[in-house]
Amino acid sequence: MEKQHESSVPNPTRLLVSLCAVLMLSVMNGTMFNIAVPDIAKTYQLMPSEVSWVMTGYIMVYAVGALTYGKLADFYPFRTLITVGLTIFAVGSLFGFFAQNYGMVLVARVIQAVGGAMIPALVFLAPIRYFPKTRGKVLGIVSSVMAFASGIGPIAGGFIAGFLDWRYLFLTSALIIVTLPFLRRNLPQEETNKGYIDYIGAALIAGFISTLLLGITLGIPWIFGLTALFFFSNLWRMKAIEEPFIPPHLFKNIKYRSTIITSFLSITCLFGMMFMLPIMFRDTYQLGTMAIGLVLFPGALSAALMGQKGGNLVDSKGNTFVLYLAMTLLASGFFLLSMIVGANQYIVSATIIVAYMSFPLVQASSADILANLLDKKETGVGMGVFNLLNFVSGALSGAVIGKTLDLFDPARPLNWLGFNGDTAIYSNIFLGFSIIILLSLGQFYLFYNRKSLALKKAASDY
């Protein structure tokens, strides 16, 4: 599909507003239900392992769907994909509102995920296709909306479930359909392009991701055997046919690979922080749901404010500069948190801002780097892999941190500047995050710049 330009968009500003609105509602839908899980369990008399499927099933389908829609975007018009995706999402939301049993709730969440997975896939592709001159700025805005929505989702979910009923979360999500006319009005007309889609390869990737997430979330070892089977079957498939679902040469590109690894590890730590903070404030600071939301709100707001400035920096200073800046802030923020966890809750809330504000910087800069590396015919699948790993990172970080909190309860933190007592385990996790970020930054510097470093060395030797 030929690259579109800003002039082909009827109204770029309105399109951007519509994209941000639909992304806001989509991300909030995912995070709102976190807060409602105990209420759903109480309604249907469920064990924790049973009710966890409300989130597990959604994430599984969402992750695979994000990659699939990215691939489809290389061939089908955005108008068509957005219309289909939002319609399916709204149908699933209404089905959930009228659900009569837990089975119907799970079906509703799966239907939501089938449609909703389209949103992040296309929202991150839209700046590349329709805003080529201000791509960095627009990616920054999109990333800030995603970070802000992740922060206020639990607050909105707690308010709706507390004052009405958890079923109204489905009804709130159905409101996303109101954005469809605005999106269709502001998206340009495009033609469907012919192309081959490897559906068998897509099924193998879906099996690999699904079993991986199941193994992580349920903690059942034998499931990882199936994961390995799907993984090696997919490797064979990628070599056996001419046009596999994910072109293997994507990962042979050392710059693409190092950027994907850096983004994955960064987002894993950020999602891990978002998962852990409510638990920490509840267990060690004895805060209620609304109080936790208010303590986290400044961080979410800082991410929203930083996004546009970070996007401008991408356009003016370059994407690698912003990524280095974001990773430095992130490592510093996690290290500071490992020092002050256990202090007054408002001091912790202020320190969280340093890490939170890095969220849109990491996403905007890494997405812009990948867009520059990808051939225009593979932008959809290349960015689809980016979105896929973002959602896998959320499931992975939640499962690993949950197990860590279950198994360890140290009295002293590894950071000698930290507080002793109940918060020591959280201090250790934040310190671990800081180390992971530094290692990720090191591998990006080493591999992304390998060719230029080799040329400099050759020049100095000469």
Q: Is 50 exposed, middle or buried (0-12, 13-18, 19+ CB in 10 A)?
A: middle
Task: Return the pLDDT at 233.
Answer: 93
pLDDT of residue 108: 93
| Two tokens, residue 333 | 């923020």
**Rounded-to-integer distance, Cα 122 and Cα 311, Å:** 18
| Contact assessment for residue 427 and residue 341, using Cβ atoms and an 8 Å cutoff | yes
Dist CA 295 CA 356 (whole Å): 13
Q: Rounded to the nearest 5 degrees, what angle is found at the Cα of 436, between the Cα atoms of 332 and 299?
A: 45
CB atoms within 10 A of CB 13: 9
331 or 217: which leads in pLDDT: 331
The 10s digit of each residue's pLDDT in 221-235 is 888 999 999 999 988
Interval 5-14 mean pLDDT: 67
Other Cβ atoms less than 10 A from the Cβ of 74: the count is 19
| Confidence at residue 451, expressed as pLDDT on a 0 to 100 scale | 56
2: how many CB neighbours lie within 10 A of its CB? 10
Looking at residue 444, what is its pLDDT? 92
- Under 8 Å between Cβ of 259 and 373: yes
Does residue 420 come out as left (phi exceeding 0), alpha (psi in the -120 to 50 range) or beta? Answer: beta
pLDDT at 450: 67
Cβ(228)–Cβ(212) below 8 Å:
no
Total Cβ atoms within 10 A of residue 394: 24
CA distance 221 to 225: 8
Query: What average pLDDT does the structure give for the chain?
Result: 82
Residue 416 is classified by DSSP as T
Closest CA to 303 of 357, 225, 242, 261: 357
Q: What is the pLDDT of residues 18-66, one digit of tens each?
A: 888 888 888 888 777 776 777 787 888 877 567 767 777 787 788 788 8
Question: Six-digit token pair at 36?
Answer: 């409602």
As a whole number, mean pLDDT of residues 93-115 equals 91
Higher confidence at residue 378 or residue 335? 335
Residue with tokens 């193994």: 215
Higher-pLDDT residue of 217 and 141 is 141
Residue 149 near residue 24 (C-beta atoms within 8 A): yes
**Pair 377, 196: CB distance under 8 Å:** no
* HEC letters along 140-151: HHHHHHHHHHHH
Give every CB contact of residue 267 below 8 A, 6+ residues apart in sequence. Answer: 362, 363, 389, 390, 393, 394
Q: Which of 327, 316, 400, 399 is nearest to 363 (CA)?
A: 327
State the Cα–Cα distance between residues 20 and 26, nearest whole angstrom. Answer: 10
Give CA–CA dist 389/264, Å, rounded.
6
CA-wise closest residue to 217 among 36, 396, 435, 443: 396
Residue 266's pLDDT band, with cuts at 50, 70 and 90, is: very high
Q: Which pLDDT score, from 0 to 100, does residue 20 have? A: 87
Tokens standing for 165? 């009923």
Q: Are 245 and 209 in contact (CB under 8 A)?
A: no
> The tokens 């507080």 sit on which residue?
419
Signed CA dihedral, 107, 109, 113, 119: sign only: positive
Alpha helices (runs of H) in 241-357, residue ranges in sequence order: 249-252, 254-283, 289-317, 319-340, 345-356
Structure tokens at 349: 């809330």
Per the structure block, which two tokens stand in for 275? 């998962």
SS3 call for 80: helix
Of the two residues 70 and 335, the one the predictor is more confident about is 335
Instruction: List, in sequence order, the alpha helices (H) in 98-134.
Output: 102-116, 118-130
